[in-house]
């Protein structure tokens, strides 16, 4: 009798294992997987910031068509020079960059001459003063 019950439980467990749903990946809704994978990336963007009071001057532009990507970005460095990086990526060739600097680096000779290089934030922010003690 015990062997019949065990055999019946084994058959039921096999039937239950076969009835579980199978999960598989499907492509995006409304398209076949092949057309989804073959779509080529294509975009063009740029932005720039030039905030004279703070000295912030930077930007980036990039264009991509398939495996070919070209762009440049630039930034105004604290020493007064402007760094420009021009780059391209063509398929598996990797990131190829050309870095250039415009202008001449300027460094202060002493602390007194450094005051002219103060940032916008340091000129506008209030100085810290500890609270006065009150005895009552």
In a domain? residue 80: yes
In a domain? residue 61: yes
In a domain? residue 23: no
In a domain? residue 108: yes
Residue with tokens 């084994």: 10
Nearest to 77 by CA among 115, 107, 111, 46: 107
In a domain? residue 16: no
Taking the whole predicted model, whether its pTM rises above 0.85 is answered as no
pLDDT tens column, 26-68: 666 665 554 445 568 899 999 999 998 888 899 999 999 988 9
pLDDT tens column, 95-119: 999 999 999 998 877 555 555 555 5
Residue 60: domain span: 40-129
In a domain? residue 28: no
Count of domains in the chain? 1
Distance CA 71, CA 82 (A): 17
In a domain? residue 54: yes
Residue 36: what pLDDT?
Answer: 46
In a domain? residue 35: no
Distance CA 133, CA 104 (A): 50
């Amino acid at each position: 009798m015990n062997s019949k019950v065990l055999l019946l439980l084994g058959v039921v467990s096999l039937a239950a294992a076969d009835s579980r749903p199978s999960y598989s990946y499907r492509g995006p809704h409304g398209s076949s997987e092949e057309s989804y994978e073959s779509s080529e990336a294509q975009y063009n963007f740029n932005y720039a910031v030039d905030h004279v009071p703070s000295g912030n001057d930077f930007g980036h532009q990039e264009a991509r068509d398939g495996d070919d990507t070209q762009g440049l970005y630039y930034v105004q460095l604290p020493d007064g020079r402007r760094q420009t990086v021009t780059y391209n990526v063509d398929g598996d060739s990797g990131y190829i960059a050309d870095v250039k600097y415009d202008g001449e680096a300027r460094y202060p000779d002493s602390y007194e001459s450094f005051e002219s290089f103060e940032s916008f934030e340091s000129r506008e922010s209030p100085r810290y003063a500890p609270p006065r003690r009150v005895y009552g």
